[in-house]
Structure 1
Amino acid sequence: MIYRSRAPLRIGLAGGGTDVSPYSDLFGGAILNATINLYARASIQPIDENAIVVQALDRHEEQRFEWNNELPIDGKLDLLKGVYNRIQKDYGVPLTGFKLSTYVDAPAGSGLGTSSTLVVAIIGAFYEMLRLPLGEYDIAHYAYDIERSDLKLAGGKQDQYAATFGGVNFMEFYEGDKVIVNPLRIKQQILNELENNIVLYFTATSRESATIIKEQVKNVNSNNEKSIEAMHQLKEQAKMMKEAMLKGRLHEIGEILDFGFQQKRLMANNISNSSIEEVYESAKKAGATGGKISGAGGGGFMIFYCPGNCRYKVIEALEQFGGQARHYQFAQNGLNTWTV
């Protein structure tokens, strides 16, 4: 038997950063995101030896251990081992050897929620194997708790919920890790046009989001007015984006993205840099009406809204920077698990 799962990565469209504590605890956050058909995948396969093997196939990394109730958190494959440790502690894993394998369709640090989505996928594989009594909210919060409490990784809350629920969602974040996921019923013709007009561009650089997020947290704790006001504006941006998408006012999408781009730069240093600014301005000169740095910022993926048929000119204009436009489609389904 092989127990498999996959969970979709996401692109953030508005409100990015307002899901991070303590801002969300103090003021409430709001984000609009959409999952795409790039995935984090996990498989658990029993093996005929008393061992635990963890491997990230996309990164060509593997570790092997004698059977143990707790695997060492040492900077290598910690997401895989951290999920196992927590599942073992809370539910117990049968005393049988197994191999836990993962693969992610985008590089770590790319801004598409890869780490959190991977955690959701790994939980999904154990969920399938052990028939765990977990609903969608349970799985998403479980993933968040493993990352933030067990592994002490800095970050927000949106990625775990996007990966678990899937689709286009307006999410609200409140004190006490309370999250409300509001699925949006977007007409298919609007989603088709959004896919046509939104260019997903990889800058060919990855970044460590934790550093940027830690500064963002520091700015809130120190009552940095400029940073906090920027987050307020990004929360409003999420509401603006929700209304524009629900009402089919696609001509507003680029302007709303551009508004968010200007605000997000004020949240923390290193969210943007000279390279990102040059890419952004080149895209706008080629016809894009707005764009966004995906994730915490500093590199990774960017998106650009390209109305009409200007996507082709924008992609051509960005070739000089050495990055790559990635083909994608929106994914309506979240975490999916099955047994072979």
Structure 2
Amino acid sequence: MRYRLTIPARINILGNPSDANEGDYATISAAIDLYAGATVEPASDLVLEAVAREDQGEAIARQAFAGPPPYPYDGTLDLLKGAVNRMHAYSPQFRQRLAERGGVRISTWTEVERQSGLGGSSLLVLLTLAGLRAFYELDPRIHNDYVLAELCQRVEAKELGITCGYADRYVPLFGGLAYVDYRGKLYQRPIGQEPFVTYERLDPWIPDLPLVVAFTGVTRESGDVHSLMRTRYLEQYASYRRGGPK
């Protein structure tokens, strides 16, 4: 079976970049009409690829693995490998079906400019996770979109050491214009030890969003911004808790 997946990039309209700490609790976020996609199909090994555009010739980057995860990070396709590694660690069903059914080829493409502030790295992780769910027919109750969004956050934060929040991971899967609430997620605990994000669609009340998204060509590491804010916020919050009422 061959699958084609497509998901949108996102913008945070209000509250950015507070989704990595709990200070403002929420963002108003929206999916936009820039996309990334993946083709997922059978292969003898587990093959990960990046191509310039969907269905365009040769891969920009390609790695193949004959054995099971975890796969090493070496600066090439680390987002895709991180998704496979995290799914393998999280899901007994995936581990079993990978062993039984063999490999898969996941080939990703994106329209989103690198480091443009539109959550482009998360799109590649989400596509890999969703591709594994579809191809190996993983239980959608256990591997639902909330779980995939949380796994994506752990890939970037835990596997790759990028300070990040949750908006980039939820909005491409749930779509639309939304109020996204992060209460209870300050410490980024393991899945099941903190609440999921609350995602409330606002589309029915706002039929059109009068905004234009422009990219100046200036690139920024969002993890650097989040890291400064989150570190400082956690310090201040701990100080408040020590001095607060018992």
TM-score range, shorter chain: 0.7 to 0.9
Q: 1:165 aligns with which of 166, 174, 177?
A: 174
Written as runs of structure 1 = structure 2, the 5 A alignment for 1:289-308 is none
Q: CA deviation at 1:97?
A: 3.2
Written as runs of structure 1 = structure 2, the 5 A alignment for 1:110-259 is 110-133=116-139, 134-176=143-185, 177-178=194-195, 179-187=197-205, 190-191=207-208, 194=209, 197-223=210-236
Q: Distance in 1 between matches of 2:203 and 2:66?
A: 49
* 1:41 match: 37
Q: Distance in 1 between matches of 2:33 and 2:106?
A: 22
Q: Distance in 2 between matches of 1:13 and 1:100?
A: 32
Q: Distance in 2 between matches of 1:4 and 1:73?
A: 26
Q: Tell me, which stretches of 5 or more residues in structure 1 are unaligned?
A: 225-340
Q: Distance in 1 between matches of 2:69 and 2:203?
A: 44
Which segment is superposed worse, 115-124 or 160-169? 115-124
Q: Distance in 2 between matches of 1:36 and 1:138?
A: 22
Q: CA deviation at 1:103?
A: 0.8
Q: Is this contact kept in 2: 1:28–1:172, CA < 8 A?
A: no
CA-to-aligned-CA distance 1:21-50 (integer Å, 9 cap, x gap): xx31xx451100110121121222212x4x
Q: Structure 1 residues 28, 203: CA separation in 2 closer, same or farther (over 3 Å shift)?
A: closer
Q: CA deviation at 1:187?
A: 4.5
Output the amino acid matched with 1:213.
H
Q: Structure 1 residues 116, 33: CA separation in 2 closer, same or farther (over 3 Å shift)?
A: same
Q: Tell me, which stretches of 5 or more residues in structure 2 are unaligned?
A: 53-58, 186-193, 238-246
Q: Which has the higher helix share?
A: 1
Q: Is this contact kept in 2: 1:3–1:129, CA < 8 A?
A: yes
* 2:50 match: 56
* 1:245 match: none
Q: Is this contact kept in 2: 1:53–1:99, CA < 8 A?
A: yes
Q: Structure 1 residues 28, 212: CA separation in 2 closer, same or farther (over 3 Å shift)?
A: closer
Q: Is this contact kept in 2: 1:7–1:118, CA < 8 A?
A: no
Report SS of the residue matched to 1:34.
Answer: strand
Written as runs of structure 1 = structure 2, the 5 A alignment for 1:14-33 is 14-20=14-20, 23-24=21-22, 27=23, 29-33=25-29
Identity over aligned residues, as a percent? 29
Q: Distance in 1 between matches of 2:65 and 2:155?
A: 21
Q: TM-score, normalised by structure 2?
A: 0.78
RMSD of Structure 2 on Structure 1 (CA)? 2.1
Report SS of the residue matched to 1:120.
Answer: helix
